[in-house]
Amino acid sequence: MAADLAVIGLGYVGLPLAQEASRAGLTVLGLDVAPDVVAALNDGRSHVDDLDDADVAAMLDAGFRATADAAELATADAIVICVPTPLSDEGGPDLTAVTAASRAIAAHLRPNTLVVLESTTYPGTTDEVVRPILEQGGLEAGQDFHLAFSPERIDPGNQTFGLRNTPKVVGGHTLACTAAAAAFYRRFVDTVVEARGTREAETAKLLENTYRHVNIALVNEMARFCHELDIDLWDVIRLAATKPFGFKAFYPGPGVGGHCIPIDPNYLSHNVRARLGYPFRFVELAQEINATMPDYVAQRIQNLLNQERKAVNGATVLLLGVTYKHDIADQRESPAVPVARRLMALGAQVVFHDPHVPAWDVDGTTLHRVADLDAALTGADIAVVLQAHSAYDGEMIAKKAPRVFDTRGITPASETVEHL
């Protein structure tokens, strides 16, 4: 059966893409190497935050089907690669999944097919890594098939901006490739922005996340000296944000997490060092600052306990919110893990509460999840707000807990509450 689109990788990026294309009337095939993911989707069960089972059922009704058989790629007019690119030991992206997907496509590539890479990577990947693999079968990019890069801009849990109303950047191997990719995405995305080429599109994604990475590091560093100088940084940010131009508010936190901010800027930094021989200093400094925040948070917790004449060794520390972002279940690169790791190394009895996480493991140790939040707040030596889930009532937390360290600014200031 012919497909308008085949999506390789049915995770946080690929599944929303498949959903939006299905909504627009495209016949969509999903390919994933995980048999359990394929089986669950074909049974109408979702495994990502932004889609529930009803969403998957609607996709199936629209003709969506998941498969683990790469041979079915031969039936698709367009193929989009949405596989993970985790950080490698060398500091760049691990392209194992990208090259595997490219080889699978190459084995079944037909003339006039559009192939798009959406996986985040370093500039040059589409042309230098993906293209040679795809051309091994004798077809030439820009002549026999279209090749492009379009950075994914999925923001898990965002209720305002989804795939359709977030502008889509596309850059092709040739002008004709760009035009073909733009025409394809315009079938289900409101605004498509054409880049000069694949490298510009690849670098745009890295700039977006580097911008956030650097500005988060800025306020995280300010949090440290503002605390020492007895300055309320949260009020400072509130005041600065009243300026209607030239300022965008960023807020401090216990570190950075997720699949983008802690990882993607390193791809650019690694690429600059590898190709040009000098450091991308902004990124490397931001990484240094943000990576040390969990230890700084643990130290602040220890200091607060000391003020109460309590040792961290044996103290009950209640962590509130262990996901990397509010109101989702995703724990990838969550700073809660290194915070808990450091506290446990100091001898603290670490327990947690998170309305989105039924079980939490830190370095092989399963931490106790408290069921009764009110009782846990009362019984803990200190409650630590690590994530601002909407289910959390800051005033209630401040009232019930004997001591609060709030890294997200959701609790009112008081004698028993200290903010990051």
Tell me the Ramachandran region of residue 86: left when phi exceeds 0, alpha when psi lies from -120 to 50, beta otherwise: beta
Query: Per mean pLDDT, which range of 86-100, 225-239, 255-269, 394-408 is the poorest?
Result: 255-269
The full DSSP string for 207-233 is: HHHHHHHHHHHHHHHHHHHHHHTT--H
pLDDT class for 267, splitting at 50, 70, 90? confident
Given this model, what pLDDT does residue 71 score?
A: 96
Given this model, what pLDDT does residue 366 score?
A: 93
Q: What is the pLDDT averaged over residues 49-73?
A: 95
Alpha-carbon distance 368 to 361, whole Å?
9
Given this model, what pLDDT does residue 93 score?
A: 83
- CA nearest to 221, candidates 420, 8, 370, 24: 420
Given this model, what pLDDT does residue 1 score?
A: 73
Q: What is the mean pLDDT of the chain?
A: 94
First to last CA, the chain: 56
Cα angle value 317/318/319 (rounded, 5°) = 115
237-to-88, 107, 292, 395 alpha-carbon distances in Å: 36, 54, 22, 21
Q: Is the pLDDT of residue 90 over 80?
A: no
Query: Per mean pLDDT, which range of 195-209, 266-280, 359-373 is the poorest?
Result: 266-280
Given this model, what pLDDT does residue 62 score?
A: 96
Q: Is the pLDDT of residue 92 over 80?
A: no
Given this model, what pLDDT does residue 114 score?
A: 98
Given this model, what pLDDT does residue 278 score?
A: 81
Q: What is the pLDDT averaged over residues 150-173?
A: 93
Alpha-carbon distance 174 to 146, whole Å?
8
CB 339 within 8 A of CB 294: yes
108: its two tokens:
């079944």
Given this model, what pLDDT does residue 10 score?
A: 96
Domain 213-419 class in CATH: alpha beta
Q: What is the pLDDT averaged over residues 109-137?
A: 96
In the chain, CATH 3.40.50.720 sits at: 3-196, 213-419
Q: Is the pLDDT of residue 258 over 80?
A: no
Q: What is the pLDDT averaged over residues 9-31?
A: 96
Q: Is the pLDDT of residue 378 over 80?
A: yes
| 3-class state of residue 380 by DSSP | coil
More confident residue, 272 or 329: 329
Query: Per mean pLDDT, which range of 15-19, 127-131, 363-367 is the poorest?
Result: 363-367
Mind telling me the catalytic residues? 260
Q: Is the pLDDT of residue 260 over 80?
A: no
Q: What is the pLDDT averaged over residues 412-416?
A: 91
Given this model, what pLDDT does residue 266 score?
A: 76
Q: Is the pLDDT of residue 270 over 80?
A: no
Specify the fold of 3-196: Rossmann fold (3.40.50)
- CA nearest to 79, candidates 119, 122, 127, 45: 119
Alpha-carbon distance 203 to 196, whole Å?
11
Partners of 7 in the beta sheet?
30, 80
The full DSSP string for 388-405 is: --TT--HHHHHHHSSSEE
Partners of 5 in the beta sheet?
28, 78
Q: Is the pLDDT of residue 152 over 90?
A: yes
Report the run of H or E that residue 172 belongs to, with start and end. Answer: strand 168-172
19 backbone dihedrals φ, ψ, rounded to 5°: -65, -50
Given this model, what pLDDT does residue 357 score?
A: 94
Alpha-carbon distance 154 to 162, whole Å?
7
The full DSSP string for 49-65 is: TT--HHHHHHHHHTT-E
Cα of 399 vs its chain's centroid, Å? 33
Given this model, what pLDDT does residue 156 score?
A: 83
115: its two tokens:
């192939």
pLDDT class for 257, splitting at 50, 70, 90? confident
Query: Per mean pLDDT, which range of 44-48, 80-84, 120-124, 273-277 is the poorest?
Result: 273-277
Q: Is the pLDDT of residue 87 over 90?
A: no
Given this model, what pLDDT does residue 32 score?
A: 96
Quickly count: other Cβ atoms within 10 Å of residue 401's Cβ.
25
